[in-house]
A and B are shown apart, each in its own frame.
Chain A
Amino acid sequence: MKAIEARDLVRRFGDLIAVNGVTFDVEQGEIFGFLGPNGAGKTTTINMLCTLLRPTAGTARVAGYDVCTQPAAVRRSIGLVFQDPSLDEQLTAWENLRFHAMLYGMQRSDFERRAQELLAMVELADRTHDLVRTFSGGMKRRLEIVRGLLHVPRVLFLDEPTLGLDPQTRRHIWDYIFRLREKENVTIFLTTHYMEEAEHADRIAIIDHGRIIALDTPENLKATVGGDVIHVRTSDPTRAVERLRTRLQVEPRVVDGVVMVELPQGERMVPQVVQVLSNGDPPLEVQSISLRRPTLEDVFIKLTGRAIRDEGADSMARMRMAVRSRRRH
């Protein structure tokens, strides 16, 4: 049995097609990542898999149960960390966790042990009995994660779990997730904007405009980007592309004004690139040049010609906005 089987899932909101025929399988015990830009349809897919939204078309099974006809059985098998805030701010951290445990029918002793362990992990042990209203954005996020991990589900959905958290906390949470998988064989489905977080996944689906445009292990995906990626900033990107194309027989692209070239053995090519650009007529000024191993971002750029963007500080701002804006599911 697969942990998740999605077949041609479609969800429309009026005229908008948020998810447009998505098909994939997730094995038990696998960590499966959804990577894609804002509005790609990641959360909508999760909501359908978690029985919060009915699919417009298509079917899905989670832990062997059909999400349309057996929603109760699906809900008994899953855990979920939402992208948007979903804590009760008028309650204390402990009360939020206790109500979760009650709704999930946890034994009291189990609940207390795990709650304390998890609160210590995210360094909230000393704020246990404070009202959530008095927490900072990052503290609320950590508490949401604790709540999602509290009962041990068979399939755990994490929608941008570590959005806006500091690297140390993110590492702790990932250590915990790995241990959880080791000990309990929990299947993990996550969406993320952080490239290095996506690397933790066994397999990744890249999703854009409601469709999966690539699905493979992170290594295989990166291998599709032939070699290394050289980034060049110059005074005239259009001319630079033209010249690199004719003189070096490569296919550069421009993303946000930066010229990007994929080359095998990139470090050997850097001097040539500089030479070609600055020795032509007119000479182009090379403002900066860098070389890196391909990342998943490069994979996305190769597939769509656009950057995923939205990292670091940007995500933090987005999370704050989500806290403030009255978003509906």
Chain B
Amino acid sequence: MSWRHELMAVYTIWLRDVIRFSRDRTRILAALGQPILFLVIFGVGLSPAISDLGGGELDYTAFLFPGIIAMAVLFTAVFSAVSIVWDREFGFLKEVLVAPVSRVSVALGKVAGGSTVALFQGVLMLLLAPLLGIPLTPAQILVLLLLMWLTAATMTSLGVLFAARTRSMEGFHMIINFVMMPVFFLSGAFFPLRGVPLWMEWLARLDPMTYGVDPIRQVLLQHRVSEAVLATLRLYPIAVDVVVLIAFWMLFLVPAVWAFARTE
């Protein structure tokens, strides 16, 4: 089959996910509500206890905000892959699998759809920045969009990898809870990873999310704190984060596509 047709297939799968998402107001609100809840409760609750970030220059809520954006992206991305399990249970997957399109295209369409939806949630969260006194320039926004998209694509691929072999919703939720919570908590979203015990530092290094939170935080707080404070928050140069994220993305995407192509 021609390239054009396969591209059309990717587009079809993508479009379906986007249409379904846009119709599901509750899902959008729920996906927004949870990060905001975290931001408000932890931000307000922990700010007094953690007041010496960047020599007092940075309040905890502003520190947490990039982590929460990453969280919104992560959760939406991984949960969008659940639609594969759902489609399997409710039959639609058969319609797609019996169509004359390559399963690689179907998997890529799923990743594209999930990434788009997750990026959209990230953008919604980003709209809160002015409320938190975080100034943003158009250039920053552009870079943030790219970073959020890359994080979304990486995490959606991880979700598809799990979903491709999972037969039941229950199974999928189990995996998600086992994987997603540590991924989220160890990523440096909640607390600075500088000065944690070595074992935790190593776990954080293995956590793909670390390389999403780190650059998003650096770019987001660029004009909020001084260069000196920013340097204390930085784990890696942004370019390194991006390269590692792309590596993780491929590490998840290739087996995800492969696993999906082999499903019966």
Identify A328's interface contact among B8, B9, B15, B89, CB under 8 A. Answer: B89
Q: A105 is contacted by which of B5, B98, B264 (Cβ under 8 Å)?
A: B5
* Tally of contact residues, B, Cβ under 8 A: 29
Binds B, one of A34-42, A86-94, A161-169: A86-94
- From B9, B11, B98, A80 is in contact (CB under 8 Å) with B98
B102 contacts the other chain (CB 8 A)? yes
- Tell whether A72 pairs with B12 under 8 Å between CB atoms, given A100-B95, A103-B101, A105-B100: no
List of A residues within 8 angstroms of B19 by Cβ:
91, 95
Whether A76 touches B1, Cβ cut-off 8 Å, given contacts A90-B23, A91-B19, is yes
Are B16 and A99 in contact, CB atoms less than 8 angstroms apart?
A: yes
A84 on interface, CB distance cutoff 8 Å: yes
B6-28 Cβ-contact flags toward A at 8 Å (1 or 0):
00110110011001100110000
Task: Give the complex CA separation of A328 and B92 in angstroms.
Answer: 11
| Given A52-B264, A88-B92, A90-B20, A72 and B102 contact (CB-CB distance below 8 Å) | yes
Chain B, 85-102, CB within 8 A of any chain A CB: 88-102
| Shortest Cβ distance from residue A230 to the other chain B in the assembled complex, whole angstroms | 44
- For residue B194, CB closer than 8 A to chain A, the reply is no
Q: How far is the CA of A89 from the CA of B9 in the complex (A)?
A: 20
Contacts A91-B16, A99-B16 given: A75-B99 contact, CB under 8 Å? Answer: yes
> When the two chains form their complex, are residues B98 and A326 in contact, meaning their CB atoms are under 8 A apart?
no
User: A183 at interface (Cβ–Cβ under 8 A)?
Assistant: no
Q: With A102-B9, A105-B100 in contact, is A329–B16 under 8 Å at CB?
A: no
Q: Which residues of B contact A85 (CB under 8 A)?
A: 90-91
Chain A nearest Cβ from B117, distance in angstroms: 14
Known contacts A90-B20, A91-B19: does B12 contact A102 (CB below 8 Å)? yes
Q: Closest A residue to B168 by CB, please name it.
A: A326
Cβ of A104 within 8 Å of any chain B Cβ, yes or no, is yes
B20 touches A91 (CB 8 A): yes
Closest Cβ of chain A: how far from B1's Cβ, in Å?
7
B167 at the interface (CB under 8 A from A): yes
Interfacial residues of chain A within 74-132, with CB under 8 A of chain B in the complex = 75-76, 78, 80, 82, 84-91, 95, 99-100, 102-105
- Asked whether, in the complex, the Cβ of A86 is within 8 Å of the Cβ of B94, the reply is yes
A50 within 8 A of B: yes
Is A51's beta carbon under 8 Å from chain B? Answer: yes
A328 contacts across to B, CB distance below 8 A: 88-89, 167
Interface digits, B103-123 against A, CB 8 Å rule (1 contact, 0 not)?
A: 000000000000000000000
Cβ of A53 within 8 Å of any chain B Cβ, yes or no, is: yes
**Contact among A53, A54, A103, A327 for B99, CB-based, below 8 A:** A103
A91 to B12, CA, bound (A): 13
Q: How far is the CB of A168 from chain B (nearest CB, A)?
A: 26
Residues of B within 8 Å of A105, CB to CB, are: 1, 5, 8, 100
Rounded to whole Å, the gap between the CB of A264 and the closest CB of chain B is 47
Residues from chain B with a CB closer than 8 A to the CB of A75 are 98-100
A25-57: which have CB < 8 Å to B?
50-54
Restricting to A185-236, which residues have a CB under 8 Å from any CB of B? none
Interfacial residues of chain B within 57-94, with CB under 8 A of chain A in the complex: 88-94
Report the nearest A residue to B96, measured CB to CB.
A103
Asked whether A52 and B98 contact (CB < 8 A) given A76-B1, A95-B19, the answer is yes
B contact residues vs A (CB 8 Å cutoff): 1, 5, 8-9, 11-12, 15-16, 19-20, 23-24, 88-102, 167, 264
Q: Contact residues of A with B, CB < 8 Å?
A: 50-54, 72, 75-76, 78, 80, 82, 84-91, 95, 99-100, 102-105, 147, 326-329
Q: List 22 A-B contacts (CB under 8 A).
A: A50-B98, A76-B100, A82-B91, A82-B94, A82-B95, A84-B91, A86-B94, A87-B95, A91-B16, A91-B19, A95-B16, A100-B95, A100-B99, A102-B9, A103-B8, A103-B96, A103-B99, A103-B100, A326-B89, A328-B167, A329-B88, A329-B94
